[in-house]
């Protein structure tokens, strides 16, 4: 069941592929849950238009980037990973 979340993520394993009208980015986001270094893993999928004249309101992802994610829809995936 989809819900909304707000968190800070560390981006790793960013990869990009090409579709007819979009670049499709996929990455792993990691957040620390508590002081015992428990972590939660997020699977991130993002679509960027190939045509630069089309507005895009999502920042370009890179490995090592830290993002603040607010009011984002997500769903629970395999092995308690979260799909964003």
Task: Determine the pLDDT at residue 51.
Answer: 93
pLDDT of residue 1: 56
pLDDT for the residue 2: 60
Asked if the structure places residue 71 within a domain, the reply is yes
Q: Domain for residue 83, yes or no?
A: no
Tell me whether residue 80 is in a domain: no
SS3 1: coil
Considering only CA atoms, which of 62, 83, 65 is closest in space to residue 74?
Answer: 83
Q: Which two tokens stand for residue 11?
A: 């981006």
Domain contains 38: yes
pLDDT by 10s per residue, the chain, length 84: 566 677 889 999 999 999 999 999 999 999 888 888 788 888 888 999 999 899 998 888 999 999 888 877 677 777 766 776
Q: Kindly state whether residue 48 falls inside one of the protein's structural domains.
A: yes
- Give the chain's domain count: 1
Q: Is residue 32 part of a domain?
A: yes
Which residues make beta-bridge pairs with 10? 30, 66
Residue 15 forms part of a structural domain:
yes
Cα distance between residue 82 and residue 3, in whole Å: 11
Domain range holding 20?
3-75
Sequence-ordered list of residues with C-beta below 8 angstroms from that of 6, at least 6 positions apart, any chain: 68, 69, 70, 71, 72
What pLDDT is attached to residue 80? 66
Give the per-residue pLDDT at 71: 76
Is 82 within a domain?
no
């Amino acid at each position: 069941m989809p819900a909304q979340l707000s968190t800070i993520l560390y981006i790793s394993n960013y990869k990009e592929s090409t579709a007819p009208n979009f670049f499709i980015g996929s990455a792993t986001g990691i957040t620390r849950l508590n002081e015992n270094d428990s972590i939660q893993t997020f699977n991130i999928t993002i679509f960027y238009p190939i045509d630069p004249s089309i507005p895009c309101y999502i920042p370009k992802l890179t490995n090592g980037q830290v993002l603040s994610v607010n009011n984002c829809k997500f769903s629970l995936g395999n092995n308690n990973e979260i799909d964003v």
